[in-house]
Structure 1
Amino acid sequence: MNALTQVTEGLWRWKWFSDEKRMNFNGFCLGLRDGLVLVDPAYAGEETWREIENLGRPGNILLTNKDHERASDELRQRYKIPVWIHEADAPLLSAPPERTFQDGALLWGELETIRFRALKSPGECAFLWKERKILIVGDAVTGHPAGSIGLVKKHLGRAAVLEEIKKLPALDFETLLVGDGEPFLSGGKQALKAFLESRPASV
């Protein structure tokens, strides 16, 4: 477990190392105009939760997919706040979410929703914080090993996955935050383009 670290203004990260996957699982805290939003909250300890509380009281938990539930139930109970997820993934969570959203939703007036239809989770989404040029993905791609774009095992060998990911470079972003592995604080779009260009025919 690692304590909270500031990535840039209004954005913090904490991480938990998965012995099974041999990479970091990330949680992010976004300082939106509407308040703090916890994205794909990784497991952590009391120290991390208190550091988040020093920033303010979280108002919402946002999940990119059903497999990133992680510490969301613990935090939902701790702060008495809702969990949000795409409506297609809502029935697949171990604990029902309080809120769902649809394709193309603009969350809290700042986060644009990009839904994927061919990934391992039917409601997998990315979120574009357009004002900050930040793209947040769950399992669409990984940042493992550090400095490289990769795919989770369930997406390997699936050409439809690559076709889905190809729509991301058209978005306006520089920072790429990943649920698994190391984020790209700059050059995220270029790294993603290079990955796609290296795999022209299939994943």
Structure 2
Amino acid sequence: MEIAKGVYSMGNWKGGRVRAFLLDDGHELTLVDTLFETDARLILDQIKQIGRRLEDLKRIVLTHCHRSHLGGLLTLKRMTGVPIFAHEWEADLVAGNRRPQTPPFRIIRPFRTLPLLAGLALGLDKHPGCPVDNYLQDGEQVGPLVVVRTPGHTPGHLSFFWPERKLMIAGDIVSTWPRLEPGWKGFMLNLPQHRDSVRRMCGFRPEVLAVGHGDPAMGVHEDSLGQLVEAADKWVRKAPQPQSQPVTARTIGSQPRKRQTAHTD
């Protein structure tokens, strides 16, 4: 489904209506997230449907390391050989060298996400590991996108803004399934960080929100953005206890690799 000029949303009912996005800037293709292990065909079919070839795909960019967003990464890497981009903090997770942090399991709305939260807590989200080639920093450009650092859901979570399209690929800091809200509260590792990320993302004033779970929000107005910030702030104010600071790769003995510069051409 084309949600803005040159922006295609892909996905189905699995993983809480998880979505990936194919971007065509008129010259080359960029893929943001890769769905599950068995979903490579959805992405290949979308490339074919828009009259492009697999060789036109130049990079794969990741919002964060959860299986529903990168399960198909290794398959696509083997098929295309394109470079993989992610935040440095997520790199060893993407490679399969460390398991993601998991939030405590709580009975919390939206209730339809509880099976997904249970699977995450039980470690059922393991994905085929794939090395990250390039680390992304806030404000960099990768393809047509500007990198927006948005931690809280995970420490290395990224969103991506396409200024010419007024489109924000929000990842999991906003969801529309089962309803529009600032993500799924029970999946947030750090609510204050998440609140700040929602506020920062909304400061870009996107008119299209391409979310990680659910259909895109189209024709977004400032009132809607303000409501997202207000809801995220309310979560923080009602939190039962202070949020712990997330560990870093260094505190658990992992040695991040030297950062490489993102390619923009």
Instruction: Report the TM-score when normalising by structure 1.
Output: 0.83
Conserved? CA contact 2:153–2:190, under 8 Å:
no
Instruction: Tell me the equivalent position of 2:249.
Output: none
Instruction: Tell me the equivalent position of 1:173.
Output: 206
Question: Aligned partners of 1:139, 1:47: CA distance in 2, in Å?
Answer: 21
Instruction: Tell me the equivalent position of 2:183.
Output: 151
Question: Aligned partners of 1:64, 1:199: CA distance in 2, in Å?
Answer: 19
Question: Aligned partners of 2:212, 2:156: CA distance in 1, in Å?
Answer: 15
Aligned residue pairs, count: 193
Instruction: Tell me the equivalent position of 1:140.
Output: 173
Q: Which has the higher strand share?
A: 1
Instruction: Tell me the equivalent position of 2:93.
Output: 92
Question: Aligned partners of 1:189, 1:78: CA distance in 2, in Å?
Answer: 41
Of residues 160-169 and 42-51 in structure 1, the stretch that sits farther from structure 2 once superposed is 42-51
Shift in Å, 1:143: 1.4
Deviations 1:140-194 (A, max 9, x none): 1211224x12422222883342133112221131000011122112216542322
The secondary structure found in structure 1 opposite 2:17 is strand
Q: What are the equivalent positions in structure 2 for 1:14-33 lying under 5 Å apart?
A: 14-18=10-14, 21=15, 23-33=16-26
Instruction: Tell me the equivalent position of 1:112.
Output: 146
AA in 2 matched with 1:191: S
Of residues 51-60 and 69-78 in structure 1, the stretch that sits farther from structure 2 once superposed is 51-60
Conserved? CA contact 2:182–2:229, under 8 Å:
no
Query: Could you say if the C-alpha distance between residues 180 and 188 of structure 1 is closer, same or farther in structure 2, counting changes exceeding 3 Å?
Result: farther
Shift in Å, 1:116: 2.4
- Structure with the greater relative contact order (CA < 8 A, sep ≥ 6): 1 or 2? 2
Shift in Å, 1:40: 0.9
The secondary structure found in structure 2 opposite 1:136 is strand
Instruction: Tell me the equivalent position of 1:123.
Output: 156
Query: Could you say if the C-alpha distance between residues 202 and 59 of structure 1 is closer, same or farther in structure 2, counting changes exceeding 3 Å?
Result: same
Of residues 133-142 and 192-201 in structure 1, the stretch that sits farther from structure 2 once superposed is 192-201
Are 1:42 and 2:74 counterparts?
Answer: no
The root-mean-square deviation of aligned C-alpha atoms, in Å, is 2.3
Question: Aligned partners of 1:125, 1:106: CA distance in 2, in Å?
Answer: 13
The secondary structure found in structure 1 opposite 2:235 is coil
AA in 2 matched with 1:9: K
Question: Aligned partners of 1:97, 1:157: CA distance in 2, in Å?
Answer: 24
- Paired-residue identity, %: 24
Shift in Å, 1:112: 1.1
Query: Could you say if the C-alpha distance between residues 154 and 76 of structure 1 is closer, same or farther in structure 2, counting changes exceeding 3 Å?
Result: same
AA in 2 matched with 1:144: W
Conserved? CA contact 2:5–2:165, under 8 Å:
no
Structure 2, unmatched stretches of 5+, are 95-128, 237-265
Shift in Å, 1:200: 4.4
The secondary structure found in structure 2 opposite 1:185 is coil
Instruction: Report the TM-score when normalising by structure 2.
Output: 0.65
AA in 2 matched with 1:55: R
AA in 1 matched with 2:79: R
Conserved? CA contact 1:176–1:189, under 8 Å:
no
AA in 1 matched with 2:83: P
